[in-house]
Amino acid sequence: MQPLAREFIAAVREAARDGELGDTTRAEWSRTRDLLADLSRERAAQGFSPTETATFVFSFKQAIFKRLRSEFGSDAETLAEETWTATELFDKLGLYTAEIYQKAREEVIVRQQQEMLELSTPVVELWHGILALPLIGTLDSNRTQIVMQNLLEAIVAKSAGIAIIDITGVPTVDTLVAQHLLKTVAAARLMGAECIISGIRPQIAQTIIHLGVDLGGVLTKATLADAFQVALRKKGLAVAKG
Amino acid sequence: MVVGKASEIRVASQDDVVVVRQAVRARAVEIGLNLVDQTKIVTAASELARNTVVYGGGGTVLLESLLDGGRRGLRLTFEDRGPGITDIEKAMQDGYTTGVGLGLGLGGARRLVSEFHITSRPGEGTQVRVTKWNG
Ligand SMILES: Nc1ncnc2c1ncn2[C@@H]1O[C@H](COP(=O)(O)OP(=O)(O)OP(=O)(O)O)[C@@H](O)[C@H]1O
Ligand SMILES: [Mg+2]
């Protein structure tokens, strides 16, 4: 902490000597900004709160005020003015750390979501020859291709005739997601398997229609349970009460 | 018409597209759009954000909450300084793509929102502005 504080004060001093105290977006302040950005990102990753992160900056205020008092103590007007300038400056720098912190947290969340996607896309065999791929999360990462590839490989490995792709857990179906789905359905068909897409919520159905995506050639069902029932029927099987 | 809260987000990578969708979803909920309209504006944002990344070489989106009489709206302005679009009419056509997509992004986005404006100058960049009203 000590060396960082020294470095920060040195950067502020340098910027204040050459530049505007009122505008910390200027080039003179870039070293100070970079320093605070690194600090904020590091703390966001370590799980500090935004308040704790901004406190690093605010904690310098007291020392600065003390210094100003000893320098301008007799001149009340200048003291008030300088104190105000210093307050504004350190508030701005403090808020800047909060802003970077927020951005860093968002990045962490995006990364976590991607990791989650990797974990949550197993191909499961519901019955002999009936596979299901419950998709959860964001679909436009590179993972999609791998996930779809896995499904095609499982179709071959299990000699499956039917594959259910469930998109209940996919928040957005845009043209890219639709394209991935259509490609997978077409590839599965070439391998002799039929795909059923399930879990199309009403709002997603409406959006797909407005987008102009044609799912006409694909069997779709509202729920995974419905899709499973269709799959069983196609195999000449039925669920009966015991 | 009153412009309320405004914020700008960078749109430079696939990850940014995810961040844009999340931010648009949060704003749509905040201004009281129903679930169908939330989904529509989020999907339109996803299309436009991806075009900004893929064809525009990256850019920004400005999110603005609007108040007009009694109705509330969400306006999104995507901007890039990429190669621009020479023939906008053609680009808007369903099925037209210079990439590997379905060519439905622009036309689809227009059908999903209440208002749609696109301006582009070859060599200078592209701006797409969409608004969704809650009624
Ligand atoms: N921001 C942009 N800058 C330059 N060209 C663009 C931009 N946005 C769209 N275009 C052009 O317009 C075409 C049509 O865009 P549109 O979003 O409708 O389809 P797509 O992106 O090719 O495919 P899809 O969106 O269905 O995945 C693109 O292929 C591209 O040539
Ligand atoms: Mg597109």
B52 Cα: distance to centroid of ligand 1 (angstroms): 9
Per the structure, the complete domain to which residue A76 belongs is given by 3-113
Interface contact flag, A113 B18, Cβ < 8 Å: yes
Question: What is the identity of the amino acid at A148?
Answer: M
> Same domain, yes or no, for A155 and A203?
yes
B91 Cα: distance to centroid of ligand 2 (angstroms): 10
B2-133 in CATH: which number?
A: 3.30.565.10
The confidence score (pLDDT) of residue B4 equals: 85
User: What stretches in chain A show pLDDT beneath 50?
Assistant: none
Cβ of B47 under 8 Å from any chain A Cβ? yes
Number of A/B CB contacts below 8 angstroms equals 75
A65 Cα: distance to centroid of ligand 1 (angstroms): 56
Q: Could you give the C-alpha distances from A153 to A83, A131, A149, A194, in angstroms and in order?
A: 69, 11, 6, 14
CA-nearest of B104, B108, B88 to B96 is B104
Cβ of A17 under 8 Å from any chain B Cβ? no
Which atom of ligand 1 is nearest the CA belonging to B100? 22
> Same domain, yes or no, for A44 and A94?
yes
Interface contact flag, A175 B112, Cβ < 8 Å: no
Ligand 1 in contact with B131 (CB < 6 A)? no
CATH code of residue A177:
3.30.750.24
pTM of the model: 0.73
> Same domain, yes or no, for A40 and A79?
yes
> Same domain, yes or no, for A138 and A75?
no
> Same domain, yes or no, for A103 and A175?
no
> Same domain, yes or no, for A226 and A131?
yes
Mutation for A interface: B11, B52, B97, B104, most A CBs within 10 A: B104
Question: Which of A81, A113, A145 lies at the terminal end of a domain, its last residue?
Answer: A113
Assess if residue A34 is contained within a domain.
Answer: yes
Which residues in chain B are closer than 8 Å to A212, comparing Cβ atoms?
94, 104, 107-108, 111
Question: Which of A94, A113, A132 lies at the terminal end of a domain, its last residue?
Answer: A113
Asked if A228 and A196 count as a contact pair (C-beta separation under 8 A), the reply is no
What the block records as the tokens of A30 is 């870039």
Number of domains in chain A: 2
> Same domain, yes or no, for A221 and A157?
yes
Assess if residue A197 is contained within a domain.
Answer: yes
Asked if B52 and B21 count as a contact pair (C-beta separation under 8 A), the reply is no
**Rounded to an integer, what distance in angstroms lies between the CA atom of residue B64 and that of residue A133?**
38
The number of angstroms, rounded, from the C-alpha of B134 to the middle of its chain's C-alpha atoms is: 17
Q: Which of A98-112, A141-155, B12-26, B121-135 has the highest mean pLDDT?
A: B121-135
- Any residues with CB less than 8 A from the CB of A236 and at least 6 apart, and which? none
Question: Which of A85, A113, A141 lies at the terminal end of a domain, its last residue?
Answer: A113
Determine the 3-state secondary structure of B3 from DSSP.
strand
Radius of gyration, alpha carbons of chain A: 29
CA-nearest of A131, A135, A162 to A146 is A135
CA-nearest of B115, B75, B110 to B89 is B110
> Same domain, yes or no, for A9 and A104?
yes
Which residues in chain B are closer than 8 Å to A214, comparing Cβ atoms?
none
The number of angstroms, rounded, from the C-alpha of B35 to the middle of its chain's C-alpha atoms is: 18
HSE-CB at A216 with a 13 A cutoff on CA atoms is: 3
Which residues in chain B are closer than 8 Å to A202, comparing Cβ atoms?
36
Give mean pLDDT, residues B119-125. 96
Interface contact flag, A175 B105, Cβ < 8 Å: yes
Query: What is the per-residue pLDDT across B48-98, written as a single tens digit (0 to 9) for each?
Result: 999 999 999 999 999 999 999 989 999 999 999 999 999 999 999 999 999
Sequence ranges of the domains in chain B: 2-133
The confidence score (pLDDT) of residue A141 equals: 61
Interface contact flag, A204 B39, Cβ < 8 Å: yes
Q: Is the pLDDT of residue B22 over 60?
A: yes
A120 Cα: distance to centroid of ligand 1 (angstroms): 31
> Same domain, yes or no, for A155 and A217?
yes
Neighbour order of strands in the sheet with A124-127: A124-127, A130-136, A162-169, A194-198, A219-221
The confidence score (pLDDT) of residue B5 equals: 84
> Same domain, yes or no, for A107 and A161?
no
> Same domain, yes or no, for A97 and A129?
no
> Same domain, yes or no, for A141 and A77?
no
Give mean pLDDT, residues B101-113. 97
What the block records as the tokens of B75 is 């306006």
